[in-house]
């Protein structure tokens, strides 16, 4: 059971969603909790389709609010006369179920906090559902039709209504429709949220170390010095809000900005000081009120904390477009970067984030060029005018990178580009992949032979020569920069793992996250830290295997055990799984894991072990197919010869007896065979009270 799917993995998501909802409804019935299967499915659909990270098991307050106040009002239609379901109640039950089955992401809020978010939002839910302006377009017309007596479940009747609407014969609320259209045109709908690429886990030092590094930044000292100079009493400024020249000369010396003041008549002609002043304003450290420049009173705690001040300054970089690259006079014009400054800066920093190798300037530059071509609809030509535009934008981008370098967010050095940034050879991938790859993506990746446009080929050849003939500028985020970018990623709901954040996670949560989100090296480091935090290794390993033992979703249990096999050091994982061959509960999973990694040859397994592995694969098939319905369809497509294999697996000693019984019924329906002929084994009690196995024939 995966808890995150790529947007294009529709079939896999639908299968997992169906299985999860089926088991949720069954569990809720056993617990006596309210649940509506359709609403639960819609909630999972929201997390998959309308959020940046797509994590089904993580529910922050923002997700609760968006689901109840936006997604459900937009998507769910309650026809006249129908009773509105208890969506908040269903969401509470879903959250409890995720927690009870160990599917909740340990990096999210505690269950109590998520439930409190539902309680805080539930009161607004009825009004949100009744607010017609929150409806989606399809819901608007369906509700309009239903309110006018049309049976919206009758396709022909709905089609006739649509034709009448096109002819202008239908009365509807124009103001509501206008509001819905405006929301769509402005992109203010959840359906427009794009899934962000997952980031690799990063390693960060403690905040105390980052605080020391922030304090060593020259920009940090200048911004704090400027705020302290302004003070609570303030400093007079000109009518235009500029520093008086006498004060400007003083500040140039105090802050050591490097500006040349000889012959300068206005502080507007001191570029570095002017940038620092604008920076301090955007960072909400100082402000101008009634002709005086004051330190912001609420900024004093930030000014006292080097790391928080540094992070505030970093975020303010996104608001320095005019000060950094704006036109200085009527004789100058802005570059293409000016119009897309914030988006490009975000993209550049997100590209650098978690990269294992420094990014060579030619690669970074050309990726930004492709963004310009897409945004400004430039043709593929290489005429002098376009080259001038790109060179202008490149100079401005270097100015921005210089600012980040001065701040200490990035580092730049000269060196040879890592081979990973050279042309990618996909000749063995087959023509299908190249055919489906957009030309601009192929060009960005440097796919050998993919460029068909002459200008694109020229750019690719020039870039390769630039990357291979000598040292180039290499750019990477510092640890301070990584910390700041991660904070921004988390703020917009993206997943940005950091090694060590799972040290206090429950064992099941740890293994689930490592299986889905961590690369092998980061998983080894995270697992080692988790075990160390437990103090006693044997006890920690027992917690981990117990977490696998109690996981009710067999595909997830398999993935969790695979993590232990791969991430424990020095062959410890293999030794552990070989020992688990004797564990009645975990043997099927251990055998599967060892066999899949070719650590256990078929001839080294006993007949009983072969049957355990076979039964395990069949049970996992049911989950991967989305439950009994999907599994039945998959089995029906197989030849009758599988009947004997299924019968043998059903008579194995696999510990999941309930799962085997369910599978027996599925197989019987799929293969058109009476269940008894598939070899069902039952437990019976002898007069002595001992368990006796009987096979029905």
d(CA 560, CA 507): 10
* Percentage of residues of the chain with pLDDT beyond 90: 63
410: which strand partners?
A: 477
Instruction: Note whether 474 and 595 are same-domain residues.
Output: no
Instruction: Note whether 418 and 517 are same-domain residues.
Output: no
Which of 570, 569, 573 shows the shortest CA–CA distance to 544? 573
Average pLDDT rounded to a whole number, residues 418-441: 56
Range of the domain at 252: 207-315
pLDDT (0 to 100) of residue 423:
62
Average pLDDT rounded to a whole number, residues 232-247: 91
Residue 693 banded pLDDT, cuts 50, 70, 90: very low
Number of domains, the chain = 4
| 89 three-state secondary structure | helix
- Tell me which of 178 and 16 has the higher pLDDT: 16
pLDDT (0 to 100) of residue 690:
36
Residue 377 in tokens: 């609809």
Residue 630 pLDDT more than 80? yes
Among 315, 344, 365, which residue terminates a domain? 315
Instruction: Note whether 482 and 516 are same-domain residues.
Output: no
pLDDT for 401-427, tens place per residue?
999 999 999 999 999 999 888 865 444
172 domain residue, yes or no:
no
**In which element (H, E) is residue 694 found?**
strand 691-695
Residue 674 pLDDT more than 80? no
pLDDT (0 to 100) of residue 165:
85
pLDDT for 508-523, tens place per residue?
999 999 999 999 999 9
Instruction: Note whether 125 and 234 are same-domain residues.
Output: no
Instruction: Note whether 637 and 683 are same-domain residues.
Output: yes
Instruction: Note whether 300 and 377 are same-domain residues.
Output: no
Residue 641 in tokens: 């010869």
Which of 132, 166, 138 shows the shortest CA–CA distance to 152? 138
Give whichever of 25-39, 167-181, 197-211 has the largest mean pLDDT.
Answer: 25-39
pLDDT (0 to 100) of residue 213:
96
Instruction: Note whether 557 and 622 are same-domain residues.
Output: yes
| Mean pLDDT, the chain, integer | 87
196 domain residue, yes or no:
no
Residue 631 pLDDT more than 90? no
168 domain residue, yes or no:
no
Burial of 43 (0-12, 13-18, 19+ CB in 10 A): buried
Q: Which of 246-250, 514-518, 541-545, 674-678 has the lowest average pLDDT?
A: 674-678
Phi, psi of 329 (to 5 degrees): -160, 175
- Tell me which of 597 and 666 has the higher pLDDT: 597
Global pTM?
0.84
Average pLDDT rounded to a whole number, residues 39-54: 95
Residue 189 banded pLDDT, cuts 50, 70, 90: low
pLDDT (0 to 100) of residue 635:
82
Average pLDDT rounded to a whole number, residues 473-499: 95
Determine contact, residues 172/142, Cβ cutoff 8 Å: no
Which of 358, 326, 353 shows the shortest CA–CA distance to 341? 326
Note the helical H segments in 353-453.
361-376, 384-407, 431-436, 439-445
Bin 163: left if φ > 0, else alpha if -120 < ψ < 50, else beta. alpha
255 domain residue, yes or no:
yes
Instruction: Note whether 513 and 662 are same-domain residues.
Output: yes
Handedness of CA 581, 587, 593, 598 (dihedral sign): positive
Instruction: Note whether 457 and 538 are same-domain residues.
Output: no
Place of tokens 């368990």: 691
218 domain residue, yes or no:
yes
Among 446, 461, 490, which residue terminates a domain? 490
d(CA 555, CA 83): 37
């Amino acid at each position: 059971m995966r808890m995150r799917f790529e947007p294009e993995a529709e079939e896999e998501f639908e299968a997992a969603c169906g299985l999860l909802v089926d088991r949720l409804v069954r569990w809720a019935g056993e617990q006596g909790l309210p649940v509506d299967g359709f609403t639960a499915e819609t909630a999972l659909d929201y997390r998959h389709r309308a959020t940046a990270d797509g994590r089904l098991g993580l529910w922050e307050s923002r997700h609760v609010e968006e689901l109840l106040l936006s997604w459900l009002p937009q998507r769910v239609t309650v026809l006249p006369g129908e009773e509105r379901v208890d969506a908040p109640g269903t969401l509470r039950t879903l959250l409890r179920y995720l927690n009870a089955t160990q599917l909740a992401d340990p990096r999210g809020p505690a269950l109590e906090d998520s439930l409190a978010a539902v309680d805080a939002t539930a009161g607004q839910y009825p009004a949100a559902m009744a607010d017609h302006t929150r409806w989606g377009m399809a819901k608007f017309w369906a509700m309009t039709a239903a309110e006018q007596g049309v049976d919206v479940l009758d396709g022909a009747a709905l089609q006739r209504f649509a034709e009448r609407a096109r002819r202008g014969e239908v009365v509807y609320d124009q103001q509501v429709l206008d509001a819905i259209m405006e929301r769509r045109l402005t992109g203010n709908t959840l359906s427009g949220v794009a899934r962000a690429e997952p980031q690799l886990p990063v390693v960060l030092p403690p905040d105390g170390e980052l605080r020391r590094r922030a304090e060593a930044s020259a920009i940090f000292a200048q911004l704090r010095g400027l705020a302290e100079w302004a003070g609570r009493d303030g400093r007079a400024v000109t009518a235009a809000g500029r520093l008086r020249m006498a004060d400007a000369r003083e500040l140039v010396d105090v802050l050591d900005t490097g500006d040349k003041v000889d012959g300068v008549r206005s502080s507007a002609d001191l570029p570095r000081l002017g940038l620092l002043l604008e920076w301090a304003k955007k960072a909400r450290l100082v402000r101008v009120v009634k002709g005086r420049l004051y330190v912001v009173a609420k900024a004093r705690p930030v000014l006292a904390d080097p790391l928080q001040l540094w992070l505030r300054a970093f975020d303010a970089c996104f608001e320095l477009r005019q000060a950094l690259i704006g036109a200085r006079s009527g004789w100058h014009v802005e570059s293409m970067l000016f119009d897309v400054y914030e988006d490009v800066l975000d993209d550049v920093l997100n590209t650098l984030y978690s990269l294992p190798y420094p990014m060579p300037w030619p690669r970074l530059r050309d990726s930004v060029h492709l963004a310009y071509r897409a945004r400004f609809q430039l043709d593929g030509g290489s005429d002098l005018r376009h080259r001038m535009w790109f060179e202008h934008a490149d100079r401005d981008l270097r100015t921005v990178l210089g600012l980040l370098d001065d701040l200490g967010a990035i580092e730049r050095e000269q060196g040879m580009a890592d081979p990973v940034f050279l042309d990618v050879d996909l000749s063995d991938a087959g023509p299908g992949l190249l055919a489906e790859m957009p030309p601009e993506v192929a060009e960005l990746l440097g796919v050998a032979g993919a460029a068909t446009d002459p200008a694109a080929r020229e750019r690719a050849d020039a870039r390769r020569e630039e990357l291979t003939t000598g040292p180039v500028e290499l750019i990477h985020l510092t640890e301070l920069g990584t910390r700041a970018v991660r904070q921004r990623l988390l703020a917009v709901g993206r997943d940005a793992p950091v090694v060590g954040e799972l040290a206090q996670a429950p064992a099941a949560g740890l293994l689930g996250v490592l299986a889905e989100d961590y690369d092998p090296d980061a998983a080894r480091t995270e697992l080692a830290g988790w075990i160390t935090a437990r103090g006693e290794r044997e006890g920690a390993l027992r917690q981990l295997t117990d977490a696998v033992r109690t996981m009710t979703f067999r595909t997830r249990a398999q993935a969790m055990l695979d993590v232990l096999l791969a991430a424990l050091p020095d062959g410890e994982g293999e030794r552990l799984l070989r020992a688990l061959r004797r564990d009645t509960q975990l043997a099927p999973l251990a055998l599967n894991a060892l066999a899949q990694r070719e650590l256990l040859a078929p001839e080294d397994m006993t007949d009983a072990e072969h049957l355990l592995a076979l039964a395990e694969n069949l049970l996992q098939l049911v989950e991967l197919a989305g439950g009994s319905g999907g599994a039945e369809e998959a089995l029906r497509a197989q030849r009758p010869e599988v009947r004997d294999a299924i019968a043998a697996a059903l008579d194995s000693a696999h510990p999941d007896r309930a799962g085997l019984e369910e599978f027996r019924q599925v197989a019987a329906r799929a293969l058109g065979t009476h269940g008894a002929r598939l070899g069902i084994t039952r437990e019976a009690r002898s007069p002595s009270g001992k368990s006796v196995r009987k096979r029905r024939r």
